[in-house]
Structure 1
Amino acid sequence: MRTQETHPATPGTQLAAARIASVDALRGFALLGILVVNIAFLASGYRMAGMAEPAFQSTLDWGVRSAVTMLVENKFYLLFSFLFGYSFTLQVDSSVRRGLPFVPMFLRRLAGLLLLGLAHAVLLFPGDILTTYAAVGLALLIFRRISPRTAVALAVVLTSLLALGFVLLALLATVGLDTAGTVADTSTQAAQSDTALVASVWQIVSEHLRKLSLIILLRVFFQGPAVLAACLIGLAVGKLGALRDISPHIGTLRKLQWAGFTVGLGGAFVSTLAAWHGTMHKFWGEAVDLVTAPLLAAAYAATFLRLLPYLPRLARTLAAPGRMALSNYLAQSLICALIFTGYGLALVDRVSPLLEVLIAIGVFAVQVVYSRWWLRNHRYGPVEWLLRYLTYWRRPSRAPL
């Protein structure tokens, strides 16, 4: 059965199609930012331990590293999480229109995400976020009937509590309590991680499992609530229908740009100094980043949505990888594993930060071409097709839209 959004005839459905294209393009944009961040963590055991790679200490290396931290890190996964919450509202609406029971379908979808995420974390990248989405999806299911105002208020409370949590860690560190070792490696362990990542398949998997055991507390108590907060903002925007037509909301988008490119960018500068240059304790920087990164991410989204109608070619270019973002996200980890680990070329800690960024852009360019080719003959990406099969418990159509 085709939903209203796939009918080409009426002006209302044309508007819906445009909305979906803009959301897909924004998702593609977020996917590029996520790859630029993740590739550094896939390329070095030191980065997974929160340290700079010892082999790359030039001014250029530090400039690229700092620029990625300030402008990209912790911003684009928030955009992706926002879109996860927004898409949740579309799935609810679709199930109502089609007269299908939403809760069992969505639970099957979350189970599929959990399985994919666990396989991804163990085999390719312990920094996987799909397992977090599977857990956060349960919370969205519980909160699906709350009002947009309540959703935004809850997101603000979660973010504030997280920031206070990092302030507490900073205060504990100030009085001499070692808190960093609970969630990160030492430099010796990072070097051992590099050795494991270029070894056999079993050693690679064992190292991934070790890292997962280190970061699980960080995921449960910090990343999970941050993702949920962004999802709740997406839920509120979806309930308000604000992305169906952005023209009535230009004033709000301008305010987000002003806030993001002033307060958000200022906070990103402070947190980058804390992360890399030792001018203040790292936990203080994390607290600042938690509060200000959502503002900068919102400014990126607002700018993107305002520019998109004037850049139709860019919209089409980014919409294709955005439509099959799950397949591309997993493929990014696979490609990087083949480049950096013992699965392939074993170039761990042998690639500079600048070259990492260039590789990320190259990989994404290939994904744009591949996604456009794939979608000419298929309605869904390969992993999206599998997840849809699990969600609806029947074989989806492969015909292109």
Structure 2
Amino acid sequence: MKVERVDMMDALRGFALIGILLANMLHFQFGSAGAEIIESANGLNQISYYFVKIVVEGSFYPIFGFVFGYVLMKMVESREVSGVKYKNIVFRRAVGLSVLGAMHIVFLWEGDVLLTYGSTLFILLLFFLKRQVKTYFVWGAILTVILGVGAFFGSNFLQLIKPLTTADIMIYQDGTYVEILMQRVGDFIGAGGLFLLITLLIVWLFFLGVSFLMVGPFVLFGMGMAKKGAFLQLENGMQTYKKMALLVPVGLLLKGIIIFDTPYSLFIYSAGTYVLAIGYIALFAWLFNRYQTQMNHYFAPIGKLSLSNYLMQSIICTTIFYGYGFGLFGQLGVFVGILLSVIIYVIQLKISQLYLKRFSLGPVETILRWFIYFKKPQKPE
């Protein structure tokens, strides 16, 4: 029996990428000082900020995690049907993503997610690849509850995040590549050899748990839905997707609480991010069934090259905002950042469409496949 490839996942991944870019743009522009900068903003920039916070932020990385889990499970099922051992493949994928993520953090930008997904893969490999459907949903729910409790007490944690000083901002605006690199990793480089290795190991083990906690719920939900065979026959679930799409306005209302300063704002907002993510997935499935040709044309190409496009977004944006490029860190408003995100995404979309006319894999995807399979990469999984 052949395991069917679900085309919607490529398009859904491409859709998630625009949301991730919009959310990341705040950090590219302002770093950890963003909240303080926005507090003094007004007019269009303030409206744009709350648009990103309510409509985008926190609700697109769960979609990406859902696709990640769904595709992973389909890959495992495909290998089982073919009689191919898959654990070594998953292990090398985890190592490859982790290495790419670590390099991304050190040499380019600290807001990486590849290390997060690579770390999560290690835990999935150890505990979750051969489970019943119910197990995926139960553990996904448990992790969601833990995150909810964390969000309830999250305001105290957020106060521990160190905002950028004026000197830090000047480094990002005017610094050389080496100065900005040292700004990111200087504290670790200052440690001694053995102590550094031990520290990195402890940090990575801690990061392993945090990564699984952060992206694990929707990764597990995606794995469970894949095992159930969801989205294989979209027309059979149209009424369900249409009803669940009503979670979009519910999620927006819940996230809208962030405008008001209450003791429960962060908790309600966090719940809204997940509700909205589920609504977006359902709405996308409903639209994909009705407009499959158009959705595949506009979203699938960039989704198929998501790894290369994600890293290219970091290269483009750090060049625009950091001192070794145009040095516009903290100088453009949030509204301009949104426009810039759309322009970058549209350019990447057109380039992806042209690229896929000649190649089946992106450049970074090809390198990762070489590492995973030790042979010439084949078509995407």
Taking structure 2 as the reference length, what is the TM-score of the superposition? 0.88
Q: Which residue of 2 aligns with 1:11?
A: none
Q: How far 1:207 sits from its partner (Å)?
A: 2.1
Alignment check: 8 A CA contact 2:21 2:341 kept: yes
| Pairing of 1:2-401 with structure 2 (within 5 A) | 16=4, 19-20=6-7, 22-45=8-31, 48-49=32-33, 51-53=35-37, 57-141=41-125, 142-170=127-155, 173=156, 179-182=157-160, 184-186=161-163, 189-198=164-173, 199-209=175-185, 224-262=212-250, 264-270=251-257, 272-273=258-259, 279-281=261-263, 284-311=264-291, 312-397=293-378
Alignment check: 8 A CA contact 1:89 1:239 kept: yes
Q: How far 1:220 sits from its partner (Å)?
A: 5.8
Alignment check: 8 A CA contact 1:159 1:290 kept: no
For structure 1, which runs of at least 5 residues remain unmatched after alignment?
6-15, 174-178
Change (3 A) 1:400 1:165: closer
Partner SS, residue 44 of structure 1: helix
Alignment check: 8 A CA contact 2:119 2:208 kept: no
Change (3 A) 1:161 1:55: closer
Change (3 A) 1:107 1:216: closer
CA distances 1:111-155 after superposition (whole Å, capped 9, x unpaired) = 110010011112222110111101111222221122222211111
Q: Provide the C-alpha distance between the structure 2 equivalents of 1:351 and 1:61, rounded to a whole number of angstroms.
A: 10
Q: Provide the C-alpha distance between the structure 1 equivalents of 2:131 and 2:185, rounded to a whole number of angstroms.
A: 37
Taking structure 1 as the reference length, what is the TM-score of the superposition? 0.84
Change (3 A) 1:285 1:193: farther
Amino acid at match of 1:304: F
Q: Provide the C-alpha distance between the structure 2 equivalents of 1:400 and 1:298, rounded to a whole number of angstroms.
A: 26
Number of residue pairs matched by the alignment: 365
Change (3 A) 1:210 1:296: farther
Q: Provide the C-alpha distance between the structure 1 equivalents of 2:35 and 2:272, rounded to a whole number of angstroms.
A: 23
Q: Provide the C-alpha distance between the structure 2 equivalents of 1:365 and 1:122, rounded to a whole number of angstroms.
A: 28
Partner SS, residue 246 of structure 2: helix
Alignment check: 8 A CA contact 2:133 2:224 kept: yes
Change (3 A) 1:56 1:166: closer
Q: Which residue of 1 aligns with 2:191?
A: none
Alignment check: 8 A CA contact 1:152 1:236 kept: yes
CA distances 1:51-81 after superposition (whole Å, capped 9, x unpaired) = 1426961211100000110010000011000
The percentage of aligned residue pairs carrying the same residue is 27
CA distances 1:323-361 after superposition (whole Å, capped 9, x unpaired) = 010000000000001111123111101111111011111
Q: Provide the C-alpha distance between the structure 2 equivalents of 1:129 and 1:70, rounded to a whole number of angstroms.
A: 21
CA RMSD across the alignment:
2.6
